[in-house]
Amino acid sequence: MSHIHKRFTSHQVKQLLERYSKNEIEREYVQEILGIKKRRFFMLLKQYRDNPEGFTIQYQRPTPPRLSAAIEQNLLKELSVDKQIIQDEDTPLRSYNYSYIRDRLKMKYHQKVSLPTIIDRAKKHGFYLKKPKRTLHDREVLTRYVGELIQHDASHHLWAPAAQEKWYLITSLDDYSRLLLYAVLVNKETSWTHILALQTVILRYGLPYAYYVDSHSIFRFVQRRDSIWRKHHLLTDETTPQWKQVLEDCNVKVIHSLSPQARGKIERPYGWLQDRLVRTCVREDVTDIQQAQRILNQELRRYNHHQVHSTIQEIPYLRFQRALKEKQSLFREFTIRPPFQSAKDIFCFRMHRIIDPYRRISIHNLQLKVNHATPRKEVNLRIYPLNHQISEIRFWCEGQLIDVQRVKNSDLKGVHF
């Protein structure tokens, strides 16, 4: 039923209340005529008795609250920064993020503004872009267990325009919980940066069932793409990249997406993380990768522990922990397979050489004398970079660790770190 002030005048209601007060009409009939409940009747009656002459039922709409000048200034300031980022062709952002602006006002300025208010101001001041139509894609969770599928990828963008250089963001994501297990910025994408990602995830969470990656040469050898001359004995997947050899040693399955379209079918929720990383790096005037990593870590904690994910409608960390508690996990305990003795023997580069009569091997122009070696035997080298300058080489022959040496990375020209 419509509001009482739209169906009656104040004088009509006043007459009914006056008659009730004189016991000329019962309350139930007044309520029926006015179409109101008992509670509303007594509110009107009290209002009439308190001020019979000034009684009115006309609705007085309160003046809507106005933003203070300080809030308005900060809001437009943050929208202006977003506009500059969007107009910069080198950055990966092409739309406004009003939720980010709301969170920014709350965290930095301690000012609370509703999302509709921010959008209203954005439209009035020209900080609004129509969202392009997007091709529909499958946003459903494809798995039933944590550890069933780890999505692993790298993105190359100008994350911090003030730094004037692009960095790589390497990420690993559990498909079921949407928990980001790994997110690190690096200057250069190499096999070793991706092996380090494997080491971090596996040592912390255990061995997953499968990894899902694209067909980048770091993850997969493809004939005619990764070799200049056709070699009939080296076809697709017959030469295994170093990253994939690590997973083979761990008995973890690798699934490749064969096209960008296939890759797009699996949602990339860390787009949320990337979006906020760029916006914050611009506002904080970030110039080096260490600063950017600290911001990334803050946003990672927000995403994993506080953000309700739009697809699963849960906080990723809570969903992950619940799955572990309910034994809904395909993660397996990581153990070093004999005869190997250390994680350095697993998360490393691999190389095979034949020991010469002088008990030496060569890695391109570098010659190394191997202790306890037998001439003409094949030796398996496990190369583990300790830092940017030094690597540890572990020599394995017939299931025995026969030597350990440290070598400058600059001397290992045949190893692509």
pLDDT band at 230 (very low <50, low <70, confident <90, very high): very low
Looking only at the bridges linking them, the beta strands covering 150-157 and 210-213 are parallel
Q: What is the pLDDT of residues 122-162, one digit of tens each?
A: 999 999 988 766 554 445 567 999 999 999 999 899 999 99
Are residues 315 and 264 part of one domain? yes
On the question of pLDDT at 240 being above 90, the answer is no
Contact 74, 109 (CB under 8 A): yes
The predicted structure's pLDDT at residue 414: 64
Q: What is the pLDDT of residues 78-116, one digit of tens each?
A: 999 999 999 988 888 889 999 999 999 999 999 999 999
Exposed, middle or buried by CB within 10 Å (0-12, 13-18, 19+), for 178?
buried
Are residues 248 and 293 part of one domain? yes
Question: Is residue 155 in a domain?
Answer: yes
Specify whether the backbone of 164 is left (phi greater than 0), alpha (psi in -120 to 50) or beta: left
Question: Is residue 73 in a domain?
Answer: yes
Are residues 181 and 273 part of one domain? yes
The predicted structure's pLDDT at residue 2: 57
Exposed, middle or buried by CB within 10 Å (0-12, 13-18, 19+), for 383?
buried
Question: Is residue 63 in a domain?
Answer: no
Structural domain count of the chain: 4
Q: Please give the helix or strand (H or E) that residue 97 lies within, else none.
A: none
- 23 lies in which domain range? 4-50
Average pLDDT over residues 271-299: 93
Are residues 101 and 37 part of one domain? no
Are residues 212 and 102 part of one domain? no
On the question of pLDDT at 361 being above 60, the answer is yes
Are residues 347 and 304 part of one domain? no
Question: Is residue 55 in a domain?
Answer: no
Are residues 227 and 185 part of one domain? yes
Question: Is residue 330 in a domain?
Answer: no
Q: For residue 236, what is the domain's CATH number?
A: 3.30.420.10
Domain boundary among 271, 296, 325: 325
Are residues 400 and 307 part of one domain? no
Domain boundary among 298, 325, 352: 325
Question: Is residue 142 in a domain?
Answer: no
Question: Is residue 384 in a domain?
Answer: yes
pLDDT band at 200 (very low <50, low <70, confident <90, very high): very high
Q: How far apart are CA 126 and CA 152, in angstroms?
A: 38
Are residues 158 and 276 part of one domain? yes
Are residues 298 and 353 part of one domain? no
The predicted structure's pLDDT at residue 82: 93
pLDDT band at 274 (very low <50, low <70, confident <90, very high): confident
On the question of pLDDT at 186 being above 90, the answer is yes
Q: How far apart are CA 230 and CA 239, in angstroms?
A: 13
The predicted structure's pLDDT at residue 266: 46
Average pLDDT over residues 311-334: 95
203 against 220, higher pLDDT: 203
Are residues 212 and 119 part of one domain? no
Domain boundary among 266, 295, 325: 325
Are residues 390 and 269 part of one domain? no
The predicted structure's pLDDT at residue 309: 87
Question: Is residue 331 in a domain?
Answer: no
